[in-house]
Amino acid sequence: MRSVWDRTGCLMFFPRQDKPSGALEVLSTAGTIGLHLVSATFVGLAMGYFLDKWLGTEPWLLLIFLILGIVAGFRDVFLEVRRIQRRTDGDSGAMK
């Protein structure tokens, strides 16, 4: 393994690259998409649970906010996929 010294004098074993590798980019994209879906669902579930406990409307607000969280998660996934698709279309257009 070749080590490199950066400008600050610190030893870097993995020097920075201008562009991330293809595999790293795919893994980060997959992680982002999964995180969008899970976090939106969890936030909706938590909001519904606590509102139900506070207002005494069990289980209605939990179900409504759970469904809203799932919809919001899929919306975030859809927007992320569209962003990735636009980026790859722009990259392939520059190659032609």
Tens place of pLDDT per residue across the chain (96 aa): 455 555 666 655 655 666 667 778 778 888 889 999 999 999 999 999 999 999 999 999 999 999 999 999 999 999 998 988 898 888 766 554
Residue 16 lies in a domain: no
- Whether the bond between 59 and the residue before it is cis, its omega within 30 degrees of 0, is yes
Q: What letters, b where the CB count within 10 A reaches 16 and e where it falls short, cover 59-89? A: eebbebbbebbeebbeebbeebeeeeeeeee
Residue 55 lies in a domain: yes
Residue 35 lies in a domain: yes
Query: Quick one: pLDDT at residue 1?
Result: 45
Query: Quick one: pLDDT at residue 22?
Result: 74
Residue 72 lies in a domain: yes
Residue 86 lies in a domain: yes
Total domain count for the chain? 1
Residue in the block written with tokens 């595999």: 23
Residue 14 lies in a domain: no
Residue 75 lies in a domain: yes
Cα separation of 64 and 44, whole Å? Answer: 8
Quickly count: other Cβ atoms within 10 Å of residue 29's Cβ.
Answer: 14
Range(s) of the domain holding residue 81: 27-90
